[in-house]
Chains A and B, each alone.
Chain A
Amino acid sequence: EDQVTQSPEALRLQEGESSSLNCSYTVSGLRGLFWYRQDPGKGPEFLFTLYSAGEEKEKERLKATLTKKESFLHITAPKPEDSATYLCAVRSGGYNKLIFGAGTRLAVHP
């Protein structure tokens, strides 16, 4: 069965303290791994798509990487405005089948 697991469930960082969020997946035929950011009371906002092991993408303080079994979202020198829930999703099989993880709640304190 296709499955996406995100860890940790919650993470508290001090401003400037770099860390990584994990997204491990079990899927038959990966056709894309997606990262989204979700602020409280709002819809998810697209960040990255990764397709193959070894691929990396960056945006400001965020860098997403992909292996055959997991993806990491690295946050370098985070700021309080990076506080949000980060969602990971994978696509397999049918083109519209996205499987989301439960998310990691990140809190960055000054």
Chain B
Amino acid sequence: NAGVTQTPKFQVLKTGQSMTLQCAQDMNHEYMSWYRQDPGMGLRLIHYSVGAGITDQGEVPNGYNVSRSTTEDFPLRLLSAAPSQTSVYFCASSTDRHQETQYFGPGTRLLVL
């Protein structure tokens, strides 16, 4: 199993550009989440999904969209990138609704100029 994979590993955007961060898992996990990690701060939840076709907002959802058309994939879309979205983004998946054990991907480092 590859676990949780994320692409790209690193991306540079200009303000106003849009892009999609890809996340895929091959563990047949129902629950998937997107977090951002900023220096000196804890991981913060952006959006999450409890199954295909079901998504909900987390703590910091503004400026981001998600969809979940399959169990395996959970892409994160930046609609119009802003410098404040410069961060490291992590995707995570879990077998259960209580997130007993979350498996994290390797992260995508995003720089918005």
- Give the CA-CA distance A88 to B33 in the complex, in Å: 17
In the complex, chain B residues whose CB is within 8 Å of the CB of A29: none
In the bound complex, do residue B42 and residue A43 qualify as a contact, i.e. CB atoms below 8 Å apart?
no
Q: Which residue of B lies closest to A44 (CB)?
A: B104
Residues facing A in B53-77 (CB within 8 A) are 56, 58-59
Partner of B107, one of A31, A42, A101: A42
In the bound complex, do residue B107 and residue A41 qualify as a contact, i.e. CB atoms below 8 Å apart?
yes
- Give the CA-CA distance A95 to B51 in the complex, in Å: 14
Q: Which residue of B lies closest to A45 (CB)?
A: B104
Q: Mark B87-113, 1 if CB is under 8 A from A, else 0.
A: 000101000011111111111000000
- Give the CA-CA distance A29 to B47 in the complex, in Å: 22
Q: Which residue of A lies closest to B39 (CB)?
A: A102
Q: Mark A78-110, 1 if CB is under 8 A from B, else 0.
A: 000000000101010001111111110000000
In the bound complex, do residue A46 and residue B103 qualify as a contact, i.e. CB atoms below 8 Å apart?
yes
**Other than the known A43-B92, A46-B102, A96-B50, what 4 A-B pairs have Cβ atoms closer than 8 Å?**
A31-B98, A32-B98, A95-B97, A96-B99
B interface size (C-beta, 8 A) = 27
Interface residues of A, Cβ cutoff 8 Å to B: 4, 31-32, 41-46, 49, 87, 89, 91, 95-103
In the bound complex, do residue A96 and residue B48 qualify as a contact, i.e. CB atoms below 8 Å apart?
yes
In the complex, chain B residues whose CB is within 8 Å of the CB of A91: 98-99
Q: Which residue of B lies closest to A99 (CB)?
A: B42
Q: Which of B31, B42, B44, B101 has the most CB of A within 10 A?
A: B42
- Give the CA-CA distance A65 to B44 in the complex, in Å: 24
Q: Which residue of B lies closest to A4 (CB)?
A: B42
Q: Which of B31, B103, B104, B106 has the most CB of A within 10 A?
A: B104
In the bound complex, do residue B4 and residue A96 qualify as a contact, i.e. CB atoms below 8 Å apart?
no
In the complex, chain B residues whose CB is within 8 Å of the CB of A98: 43, 45, 99, 102
Assuming the A-B contacts A89-B42, A98-B45, A100-B43, are A46 and B106 also in contact, with contact meaning beta carbons closer than 8 angstroms in the complex? Answer: no
Assuming the A-B contacts A95-B97, A96-B99, are A43 and B33 also in contact, with contact meaning beta carbons closer than 8 angstroms in the complex? Answer: no
